[in-house]
Amino acid sequence: MILGTGIDLCEVARMRAKIQAPADEFVNQVFLPGEIAYCGTKRHPAEHFAARFAAKEAVVKALAGTGGVGSFWRDIEIMNEQDGRPVARLYGRAKELADAQGVRRVFVSLTHTRDLAAATAILEG
């Protein structure tokens, strides 16, 4: 049963500016070490950071709609399975919200171009 859906779009240029200076401040407030390491291995890291940011937003929208539930960027980790499929791992407040709603699985899909990154999230219960 689908319990929630979310979608988000992120401009790569905006993310590029955010991660450049002062990079550590923004990057470390929003992304977990595994996400930072993954994006850092890519030829165009801003595209991958933007896709992961959009995925985090999509998961938040799926969990709570557009209601103000606070910021919990580091409670959502977007990584890849061995076969390349993206996966969302939830911790802290995000996991509490998911558990309270009966979420058993979070599906995410990412895409990006040089200019835009988009993501969707589907909550299964």
61 a catalytic residue? yes
For CA atoms 27, 30, 32, 37, the dihedral sign is negative
112 a catalytic residue? yes
CA distance 24 to 4: 32
Out of 18, 44, 61, 95, the active site residue is: 61
Out of 18, 48, 56, 112, the active site residue is: 112
| Tokens 């791992």, residue located | 89
Q: 76 near 92, Cβ under 8 Å?
A: no
Question: Which residues are tagged catalytic?
Answer: 61, 112
